[in-house]
Chains A and B, each alone.
Chain A
Amino acid sequence: MAEYRRLAINEVGDVTVVRFRDQKILDDLNIQELGRELSRLVEVEHRQKLLLNFSAVEFLSSAALGKLITLDKKVKAADGTLKLCDIQPEIYEVFAITKLNRLFDIKENETEALAAF
């Protein structure tokens, strides 16, 4: 498996659980790298079921949201499934304000999310 600097990858059954290594996702270079690593999961490693676990994330900017939207498009193009979970209240508010909570399938926690695949 390729090395990931921004992500921690774990497999639970046929679901790839992705955690973020950064508590604050805001530096542009890190966000670019994050985007490349997320794309690699789908386009190079052909992972079909992705769960992004945000439990470690305290902050993210709109540039990071852009990478998540790009990932969502790639997953859909590959007929895969993407879910998000464990999003802290302030960050969930960012998703709600931008109405991205309607674009993404967001679950309360990892257990609930894994059961929904």
Chain B
Amino acid sequence: MIPSEIGAGRAVETEVLGQLEEHGWSERDVFGIRLAFEESVVNAMKHGNVLDPEKRVRIRCRLADDLMRIEVTDEGPGFDPDAVPDPTHDDHREKASGRGVLLMRRFMDRVEFSEKGNAVLLEKRRSAEGD
């Protein structure tokens, strides 16, 4: 559990990514996981908990063999990820925000939001060498 302060998740992120590097995950895999982690934690703090210092973000990470699983849960009201406008559409491409969910989905193998929308499960399977 970490407070809703930007940067508070950094120690967890550093620990997780350090383990991936130790286990020889590729740079591209580590990049994608860092990005998905960052986007999900920032979403949880800013949009979920609206940076309320009384609210916490729970991060659970599990690295098992070739699978990295991250669960990020906030104490906010949740949101409907399908209602986020497509940021690649011409009408939205010049908006300054709204790309986090798209990037999570493209860099991770599995991205699932809870029904309420205040929790996200991210999974990444280690790429085969040469991918």
Contact = CB atoms under 8 A, between A and B. Distances in A.
Contact of A97 (B7, B28, B94, B103): B103
B93 A63 contact: no
Contacts of A65: 99
Interface in A29-58: 29
Interface in A84-117: 90, 94, 97-100, 102-103
Interface in B71-99: 87-88, 93-97, 99
Given A59-B31, A62-B103, A90-B27, A69 B38 contact: no
What class of interface size applies to chain A in its complex with B? 20 to 34
Contacts of B10: 27
Looking at chain A's contact residues, the main secondary structure is: helix
Interface residues of B, number: 24
A28 B28 CA distance: 23
Given A94-B35, A97-B103, A69 B95 contact: yes
A61 interface: yes
Contact of A98 (B28, B34, B42, B103): B103
Contacts of B7: 27-29
Interface of B: 6-7, 10, 27-28, 31-32, 34-35, 38-39, 42, 87-88, 93-97, 99-100, 102-103, 106
